[in-house]
Every structure is written in structure tokens, then in C-alpha cells.
Amino acid sequence: MKTVYTCFCTDIIHEGHLNIIEQAKKLGSVTIGALSDKALIRYNKFPTISQEERIRLYTSLDGVDRVVVQDSMVYEDVISSLKPDYVLHGDNWRNGPEAAIRANVLRLLEEYGGELIEIPYTRNENVKKIDSQLKEKLSMPEYRRKRLRQLIDMCPVVKTIEAHSGLTGLIAEKTVVENNGHLDQFDAMWVSSLCDSTAKGKPDIELVDMSSRLRTIDDIMEVTTKPIILDGDTGGLTEHFIYNVRTLERMGVSAVIIEDKTGLKKNSLFGTEVEQTQDSIENFCEKIKAGKRVQLTDDFMIIARIESLILERGMEDALTRAFAYVDAGVDGIMIHSRRKEPDEIFEFCDKFREKVKDIPIVVVPTSYNQVTEDELSAHGVNIVIYANQLTRSAFPAMQQTAEDILRNHRAKEVDDRLMSIKHIITLIDEL
Ligand code: SPV
Ligand code: MG
């Protein structure tokens, strides 16, 4: 009997999947690959049910003889171990980032005479509705909130990009690239105080108040499903912070990062060029404890950001604070630096990890931007935040366009660098 292989990456079975099984059955014995959690996350399809539940779901389907786990979007391992006569797939992977995966499957099959069979992708109202229901589920507060902790457990590094509007949220949500046959995407969003303030034309000094920050978060939440980490600045007065923790938790924000500064906060990238005051360890620990006390779920995270290296108070001070904040019950430590080299970040992480294994470390490699995610991960980092690059790339592009229109008294000269009208009107999903 011939063997047929097809890979599923879904939490809900609809008629499109049943059609694939129907066609597969006609060709031979059917093996379904259940894409692992790790691979699903990398592929921008965060699971809403566990890997075991997906395996049970696929096994229960009529016509399925066997279910195996496929641990990567690349079919290399599964094809070389199963050597199926046929691989079945919907024809929707011919274009876009998945085309490289398809090309690789064709190459693998050619090596031993296997065949790829493509079935027209089922597009109808029912399938569309199921897809959007899944997306809706992921955007609900109870799913979104816990997703950051799930990602920390499942990913070597949680790749986080800044978002400050619905539009930047969409970029964080939807950008997928193909890289050496693998697909890559961002895992989470950082609602930066710098970029949120800049987008409003205001300085980054806690001038944009919490109501306005919550409005930004809501705009982003409206159009995305990925988890949100809020840059909570200093957290403000403890008496206010506790109310904000409750609000953020209820909205479905996954984490707030508060920095150990007090008084008029200025952006850390100014370093010691401006006057900034670090909070005392005692006060800051009280703020952390108060926040943890009012939190209602186990999902939400309060992360302490240490400014000792920014303020040039030294490594010992940074580590002393880190251990004190851990003792106060914090869920993660962010260590910030504005050096050009990552050495002090590596040193901090290595020394912190000697003592504390299980508290996530967050970093923001803005000034030491040559460092790779792999290098940071090797030093025990869990979350990498690209904190302002979207804003910094958009601003010069917009400014140049404005200048060129003024110079030419018309818009023709800028046209070839603009997104097409056709593209911009399809950027936003219609309901
Ligand atoms: C932000 O993005 O607002 C931050 C990170 O706080 S930094 O600007 O590097 O201080
Ligand atoms: Mg900030």
C-alpha cells in the first residue's frame, strides 16, 4: 500500500482539512503530521489547544491511520524518516514566504521519487469564519495575557518589537519572513514610552498619562493577538501603580516593566547627560510587592528594570538590586545599558544566572545593536526588545517625502517609494 503524508497546523478541523484527508485516503494509508508547539509559534500560528489535544483531535478523524509530530516547518526530518510516496498540501503555499518550504519539499521528494500533490485550497465563508474565530479567541484577554509566559517557556528568545498604534501593531502581528527555509516573525509587542510619546509629539517624561497609554494599548489590541509588554516608566506612585496593575491585567496586557527611577523620569538613552534619580532599593521593593499583592491572575508579570548601568552606578549595584527585586517577588528583570558593546550586559546576565536560574531576563539592544538573539540567549536572556526601530525608520521616510513634495510642488517625484494605493487599502482586514 502507498503512503501519504500531510501536515496540519490547526486547532479546528474544517471542511478544507476533511477534503485533504478524503483525497489522501484515495491514494493510500494516511499519516498526519501535527506541527509541534515550537514550530507553530515560529510559524505565527500560536496554538489555542495543547500539542497533545491536537494529536488526539487529528487521530480521531475518519481516514487517519497515524499521527506523528512534525517538529519544524521544514519537512527535512519527517520526509527522510517516513519517505512517503505522496505529500499532500493545499495549493496556497505557492506564493509568499511558504514558497521556499514548498521548494524544499519538492527537492526532498525528488531524491527518492516521491510526489507532491496539491489540492485547491478551500475558500468559503465557513472556513473564513472559523479562521477569524480562532483569531478572535487569541485576542481575548485571558488568552493574550498568559501568552507571554507560555512563549518564555517555549521559545529560546521572545522577539519583541515596538508598537504605538494600530498600524505598527499590524506590522508586529503580520510581518513574516522566510530565512533559510524557516519562517520568522515577532512574538510580542513593546508599548514603548519613548515611541508612544514621540507619536504624540511629546517628550518621554511621563507626560503622556496612563489614560492615554491605555488608549494606545486598546488601539493595538483591536487589531492584533500577540502579547503586550507595557513600558510602565517608573510605575508612578505606588498608590496609583496598584490600580494600573489591575487595569492592565483586566485588559489582557501580559507584563508591565517599571524602572527603578523616581522624580522626573527622562529617557534612559540620555544616560548621565541629564539629571535622573534612582529610587532606593527599599522603596522600589515596596512598589513591586504592592503590585504583586493586588494582581488577580498568575499570568500577569511585573518586571523590574534596573537603571544602575545607565546611571553609571556599577555592576555591583545592578546585581544587588536585581537580587533584592527577585526577593521582593518580581517576575522578571530588565537590565538596560547604553554602551556600544554588549560586554556589561553579558557580565550582568552571567552573574545573575549564577544565582537565579528561573527569573526571565529582558534586554533592549538599542546601542549595542550588533549583538544577535542567539548570543543574548546563550547568556541567559529570555526576552529581546527592539524598542524604537519602527519609529526611527518611519520618521526619516516621512520627513523626506514631505521635503520632496515641498521642493517639487507636486507628488510625482516621491511616488516610486510609496506603498501602492491598492496595497494600502487591503492592509486592513475587512470583517
Ligand atoms: C522605551 O522604549 O521607551 C524605553 C527603552 O524605555 S529606552 O528608550 O531605551 O529607554
Ligand atoms: Mg521608556
Cell numbers 510581518 correspond to 175
Please report the pLDDT score of residue 310 as a whole number. 96
Distance 119 CA to ligand 2 centre (A): 49
- Backbone φ and ψ for 8, nearest 5 degrees, come out as -110, 140
As given in the structure block, the three cell numbers for residue 72 are: 519544524
Distance 386 CA to ligand 1 centre (A): 10
Question: Apex CA 12: angle with CA 7 and CA 18, to 5°?
Answer: 60
**Of 195, 200, 204, 259, which is best to mutate to test ligand 1, by the most ligand atoms within 8 angstroms of its C-beta?**
204
Distance 193 CA to ligand 1 centre (A): 6
- Tens-place pLDDT, residues 146-203: 999 999 999 999 999 999 999 999 999 999 998 887 889 999 999 999 999 999 999 9
Residue 215 neighbours by CB distance under 10 Å: 12
- Tens-place pLDDT, residues 48-104: 999 999 999 999 999 999 999 999 989 999 999 999 999 999 998 998 888 999 999
Please report the pLDDT score of residue 69 as a whole number. 97
> How far is residue 173's CA from residue 187's CA, in Å, rounded to a whole number?
8
What is the 3 state secondary structure string of 338-369?
CCCCCHHHHHHHHHHHHHCCCCCEEECCCCCC
Active site residues: 204
User: Which protein residue's CA is at the shortest distance from atom 2 of ligand 1?
Assistant: 192
> How far is residue 111's CA from residue 115's CA, in Å, rounded to a whole number?
10
**Of 160, 161, 162, 193, which is best to mutate to test ligand 1, by the most ligand atoms within 8 angstroms of its C-beta?**
193
Could you tell me if 382 and 361 are in contact, meaning their C-beta atoms sit under 8 angstroms apart?
Answer: yes
In which residue ranges of the chain is pLDDT below 50? Answer: none
Give how far the C-alpha of residue 185 lies from the chain's centroid of Cα atoms, to the nearest Å: 7
Of all atoms in ligand 1, which is nearest to the CA of residue 310? 10
Ligand 1 first shell, C-beta below 6 A: 192-194, 204, 231, 267-269, 364, 366, 387-388
Cell numbers 526601530 correspond to 389
Intra-chain end-to-end CA distance of the chain, in Å:
45
**265, 262, 326: which is closest to 292 by C-alpha?**
326
Please report the pLDDT score of residue 269 as a whole number. 86
> How far is residue 397's CA from residue 384's CA, in Å, rounded to a whole number?
25
